[in-house]
Amino acid sequence: MELYFLGTNAGVPSLQRNVTSIALRLLEERRSLWLFDCGEGTQHQILKSPLKLSKLEKVFITHMHGDHVFGLPGLLSSRGAQGVTAPLAIYGPPGIKSFIETSLTISQSRVPYTMDIIEHTGGVIFEDKYFRVEAAGLDHRADSYGYRVVEKDLPGSLDPKRLEAYGLKPGPQYGKLKRGESVELGDGSWIHPADVLLAPKKGRVVTILGDTRPCPGVEVLAKDADVLVHEATFMEDLAELAHEYYHSTAKQAAEAAVRGGVKSLFLTHFSSRYKDVEHLQPLLQEAKEVFEHTRLAEDFGLYPVQRST
């Protein structure tokens, strides 16, 4: 599980940063890619990255402002032009279905794959035996949502010492035990998975927020997350401006991380007034004074999501 930032600017692109889009690479977990928001130019960013549209399985849109959705019609069309036929699920607030269908219809774009467009107003929006995705409303000028991706706990690894004690050798029986099946020994006794498996591996939690002012929804989504991705459009000296435009400061993002008990925080969605990495350092310092484990997201930055031990 890895985060890959395709755009970290707010509002409009700059020479240094594109507008918002974040990929969650799940190549080991499900051989796929999930995309969060798709600002204008996202497909160009993907062309410059190691990401492949053929791996794209799901798209999650936080809200309908242009810097988060204007790249979506082109990306969907290009995915089809590349010959990808695998189905795609798109989740977003009310209006996302009309936006996609109207854009593709009027432009006569050919999409040779099934699209399942799911409009939601929060709650559990996806779940299978490996992952659950929850959404909650935030506080922005448009209906804005954050997403909490919960990886379910995985079975523990086989314990070589216990296996040896039972006289088990590598082979099909290992696979059965790993899958949660019991196996019968030659003497008629049974070995159950709990007899030879180590403790389960705790699943990871990644929270990715849309644009927002501080609000209860942030805390619900961020609680005990391994990673929180939070907008930091301004520094605290512009807190009144941030509030007026329904955004957050770097300090407010750090305070949310502290309240949520998260393990690491990524700041993103920076105002164009902070032109480059050097100009972003004061935002980082401001946040780190409140929450030490803070990093600046960078375009084309790849960040593994570590599993808690």
DSSP string, 140-168: SSS--EEEEEEEPPBPPPB-HHHHHHTT-
The answer to whether 187 is a known ligand-binding residue is no
Continuous H helices in the chain: 27-30, 42-47, 66-69, 72-81, 96-106, 160-165, 172-178, 193-196, 216-222, 239-244, 250-260, 277-288
The answer to whether 67 is a known ligand-binding residue is yes
The answer to whether 65 is a known ligand-binding residue is yes
Contact 233, 19 (CB under 8 A): no
Selecting among 67, 128, 139, 143, the annotated active-site residue is 67
The answer to whether 140 is a known ligand-binding residue is yes
Q: CA-CA distance, 66 to 165, in Å (whole number)?
A: 62
Q: CA-CA distance, 29 to 34, in Å (whole number)?
A: 12
Q: CA-CA distance, 283 to 270, in Å (whole number)?
A: 9
The answer to whether 192 is a known ligand-binding residue is no
Diameter of the chain measured on Cα atoms: 75
153 is known as an active-site residue: no
- The residues annotated as belonging to the active site are 67
Known binding positions? 63, 65, 67-68, 140, 211, 269
Known binding positions for Zn(2+)? 63, 65, 67-68, 140, 211, 269
